[in-house]
Amino acid sequence: MTPSDYALRARHLYFTFGESPALADVDIDLRWGTVTAITGPNGAGKSTLIEILAGVRKPLRGTLHRADEVALMVQRVTTPDALPLTVRDVVMMGTWGASPSRASKITKEERKIRVADALERVQLTNLASSPFNALSGGQRQRALLAQGIARQARIFLLDEPAAGLDLESRERTRSILAGEANRGAAVACVSHDEESIAAADCVVSLEGGRRVI
């Protein structure tokens, strides 16, 4: 494979919390058009890895290259009741977070088009005017995914998107992520969901902060 095949490449990542190693010498590649499942027991370093890949944390050692915009989706996101955001508002925020070079080119009309397209792709058009905090867990996950789509991110990083969701919501989320990969995006999910792991194009397994698969 050539470097252009990779959306993200990381080598020899190392991170600690105090004296406790969270990641030790971890390599990972994310390829365009694929879904990667990051698995392992609790405390294995999965969430730390996804945060480093997204740029939320910096590795103490190692190298990391991202080829495009990244959208990070975490678990159990809420907004203050005093800030009554609608689903459309949350998705629109994705266009605000675009890189300066892209944001400067976005017109008001294009923002609306991006948001409408993103809502349609995650099947939330009918809930666009609903309060974000009134959504179910699965609907919130889809709204946050739509935020990344509106941002035009091409790398999606998700921390346990299936956690706490019912079977139908897990299947729908899995289908939407596969659809984004089919469009050419690189998707990586921390997951304990066996069906999601089985459906992934690539599996990265961590134990004790080290990659074993």
Across the chain, what does the average pLDDT equal?
92
Q: Supply the pTM of this predicted model.
A: 0.92
Report the pLDDT value the prediction gives residue 98, as an integer from 0 to 100: 61
Q: How far apart are CA 43 and CA 68, in angstroms?
A: 29
Residue 79 confidence (pLDDT) above 80: no
Q: How far apart are CA 48 and CA 74, in angstroms?
A: 12
Which tokens belong to 168? 């139908």
Q: How far apart are CA 213 and CA 205, in angstroms?
A: 5
pLDDT range class, residue 97, cuts 50, 70, 90: low
Q: What percent of the chain has pLDDT over 70?
A: 91
Residues 205, 40 contacting (CB under 8 angstroms): yes
Full set of structural domains in the chain with CATH:
32-58+68-203 (3.40.50.300)
Q: Is 11 left (phi over 0), alpha (psi -120 to 50) or beta?
A: beta
Hey, is 54 helix, strand or coil? helix
β-strand partners of 158 = 73, 189
> Around 118, how many Cα atoms within 13 Å sit in the side-chain half-sphere?
29
The CA-based dihedral angle spanning residues 75, 15, 37, 174, taken in that order and rounded to the nearest 10 degrees: 20
